[in-house]
Structure 1
Amino acid sequence: MFKKIVIFGVGLIGGSVALALKKHPHAPHITGVGRSGHSLQEALQRGLIDTAETDLGLALSGADLVLIATPVAQTPDILKAIRPYINEHMVITDAGSTKSDVMAYARAELGDHIGQFVGGHPIAGAEKSGPSAALADLYVGKNVILTPEPTTQPQAFEKATALWQQCGAVVSNMSPQEHDSVFAAVSHLPHLLAFALVDDLAKRDNAELLFKFAASGFRDFTRIAGSHPEMWRDIALANKQALLNELKTYQQAVSHMTLLLENGDGDALHTLFDRASRARNDWAKSKIQ
C-alpha cells in the first residue's frame, strides 16, 4: 500500500513506526525530517530511516503518507510547511496525544486538503525518547485511536488504519472531543501527578535522603515522570480544560481521603482501598486476556 512514507520526528514514536514497517517484505522507503541533524543522523545509522531530508520538496516528492510524530505544538507549523507539496493521493496523519487542537490545526492550515488528514494517537510509549528508544514491536497489540471527521476521505482513513495495522496495532476510532476527555483522565492526569510528586520531593531540603530510600512503590508510581518534558508541556496546555476538570475531581478525591485519615476512619479507608484494588486488578486481568 505504501511506497514512500515521510516521518516528521524519528524518535520513540516515529522511529518505532519505521522499524515496524521495515519488518515487512517490500517495506516502503522511509524519509525522516526533523529539527535536529544529530537525531536524523542517529536514525540513519540505526537503520530507522532510509534517507534524511531538510528540503521539504524533495522529502515529500512521491510520498504516499506523511506521519507527524513530533510534540503537538509543532504540528501547525509542519502542516503549513507541507501544504504546497501535498498531492491528491497523499495522506497526512499524526501521533499526537491530544486531538481537538490537532484537528483544528489541520482545518486551519490544510484548506482544501483537510479531507486527506486523519488524526491519530497510538496508546503506546515509554519514558525514554529519541531514535535509540525506538522498538520494532512497540505497537504490537496496542490500541491506536483515529479521529476521522465528516470531511475525512474514506481512502485516507483506510490508509491511516492500514499504517497502524501493519505496525501490529488494534485500531479504533472516536471523536476528537471524546478522545481528549478520556485521555485526560487515564493518561494526562497520571503523568501530571507523577511529575508533581517527583518535583515536590526534589525541592525538599532532605531530597537526597528521600531518593536514597525510595524503592519499588516510588519507582512504579513515578516511572512516567521520566517522560519527555516538552511533549508533556504541550499535551497539558493543549488539553487544558479537560485536564483542569480531572484535576478538580482528583482534588476532591484527595480531600475525601484526607478527611478519612483525620477522622481515623479505618473502615471507610479499607472500603476505598478495596474498591480501588479490585478495579485495578480487574483492569490488569483484562489487559492480558
Structure 2
Amino acid sequence: MSVRHLAVIGLGLIGGSLARALRAAGEVGRISGYDPDPVQRQQALKLGVIDEVHEQAPEAVADADLVVLAVPVLRTAEAYAACLPGLRPETVVSDVGSTKQSVLRDIAAVCGGQLPPRFVAAHPIAGTEKSGVANSQTELFRNHRVIITPHEHQDAAARQLVARLWQAIGARVVEMSPAQHDAIFAATSHLPHVLAYSFVDMLARLERSGEIFPNAGGGFRDFTRIASSSPQMWHDVLRANEAAVADLLDRQIEELQQIRRMMAESRWDELKALFERARAARERYLSQIE
C-alpha cells in the first residue's frame, strides 16, 4: 500500500474511477471524498467508491497523504484554496486537468506566486462522453497515457509517488513541459471537441433536422460522440487553453475554405489528393492513437 489516506476532491467520472482503480490495486487504505454536489457525494458513498464523505473540503483532506483535485480546470485553484486549511505540509496534491499551463499559473497565484513543491500536475488521457461518479470504472486508465508536467519547484519524491500510483493501475506515465502538453492536446482533444459541438449544433438548427438525425449512421455517431461530453468541462478547457485552440481553429477554417474553393472550382483531383494524404497520415499513426 503506497498511500494510507487518499482524499478525492471532485467525485465525478475521473475522480471516481481513480479511487476505484487505486483501491482495486491495493494502493490505498482509506478514501475520503468531497464534491459540491450532494448527489455525487451520496452516490460515491453508496457505490463504495469512497469510505467516507464530507460536506467541506478541509474535512475531507484532513490527515490525507495524497489529495487529488478531480475538478474542471478553471476550478482547480479554487479547490486547492478550499483544501488549504486542512492540508498538512507533507501532503502531496495532484490534479487531473486537461490543461497544464493554466492550472500551474492559477495554483501559483493562490500560493503567493510560487508553486508548492508537493503539487504535481497530471493529466490522464482517458475518459468517456459520460460524466458523474455513477459512470466511474476501475479499468478506465489501463493502457492509457498519463502526462505529468513537472515545474521548477517540483519535489522529486512527490512526483515519483504520483507516477508510481498511476503506473500501479496500468497507466503509462509520460513527462513533458506544460507548454508542450497544451499545444499537443489543443490539437488532439480540444479542437476536435469544438468541431463536434459546432457540427451537431449546426445540424440541429437546420429546418430539416428532424429528418437528419433519425437517418444518421455509424459515421455520424463516431464523429459526434464527444459532443455528448460535459459542456461545462469543455467550456472551461477552451477558456483555459484559448490561445492554442484559437490558432488551430484558424488553421482549420482556412483548410475548410480551401476545400470549399476546390469544390466550387471542380478541382476534384486535388480534393481527392487531400483525402488520400489525410488517410495515409491517419493510417501511419494509427498504432500510436490511444
TM-score (norm 1): 0.96
Residues 68-104 of structure 1 deviation map (CA, whole Å, 9 limit, x = unaligned): 1111121121111112222122111100101111001
Q: Which amino acid aligns with 1:35?
A: P
* Secondary structure of 1:28 counterpart: strand
Query: What letter matches 1:34 in structure 2?
Result: D
In 1, Cα distance between the equivalents of 2:32 and 2:140? 20
Query: Structure 1 residue aligned with 2:256, among 218, 237, 254?
Result: 254
Residue 35 (structure 1) aligns with: 36
Residue 231 of structure 1 and its aligned partner are, at CA, apart by: 0.3
* Paired position in structure 2 for 1:16: 17
1:234 deviates by 0.3
- What is the letter of the counterpart of residue 105 of structure 1? D
Q: Distance in 2 between matches of 1:134 and 1:173?
A: 25
Rate the CA distance shift 1:103–1:158 in 2: closer, same or farther, 3 A.
same
Give the Cα separation in 2 of the matches to 1:243 and 1:57: 35
The equivalent residue for 1:69 is 70
Q: Are 2:96 and 1:95 aligned?
A: yes
Q: Which residue type is aligned with residue 36 of structure 1?
A: D
Q: How far off its partner does 1:113 sit? A: 6.6
Structure 1: runs of 5 or more not aligned: none
**1:124 and 2:126 correspond:** yes
Distance 1:57 1:95 in 2: 19
- The aligned counterpart of 1:204 is 206
Q: Indicate the percent of aligned positions where both proteins have the same amino acid.
A: 38
| Aligned residue pairs, count | 288
Distance 2:58 2:96 in 1: 22
Indicate how the Cα distance of structure 1 residues 113 and 89 shifts in structure 2: closer, same or farther if over 3 A, else same. farther
Q: Which residue is equivalent to 2:55?
A: 54
What is the deviation of 1:26?
5.9
Residues 128-168 of structure 1, C-alpha deviation per residue, up to 9 Å, x if partnerless?
Answer: 00011111111001011111111011111111112211221
Q: Is the 8 A contact 1:83 1:109 kept in 2?
A: no
1:139 is matched with which residue? 141
Q: Which structure 2 residues correspond to residues 193-272 of structure 1 after superposition, within 5 A? A: 193-272=195-274
Q: Which residue of 2 aligns with 1:280?
A: 282
Cα drift, residue 287 of structure 1: 4.2
Consecutive unaligned residues in structure 2, runs of 5 or more:
none
Tell me: CA distance 1:219–1:152, structure 2 relative to 1, closer, same or farther (3 Å): same
In structure 1, how many angstroms separate the alpha carbons of the residues matched to 2:93 and 2:261? 50
* Contact 2:117–2:154 under 8 Å retained in 1: yes
TM (norm. structure 2) is 0.95
Q: CA deviation at 1:57?
A: 3.6
In structure 2, give the amino acid aligned to 1:115: P
Corresponding position of 2:80: 79
Cα distance in 1, alignment partners of residues 65 and 207 from structure 2: 55
CA gap 1:26/1:169 in 2 versus in 1, 3 angstroms: closer
Between the aligned partners of 1:58 and 1:70, the Cα distance in structure 2 is 17
Q: CA deviation at 1:27?
A: 3.2
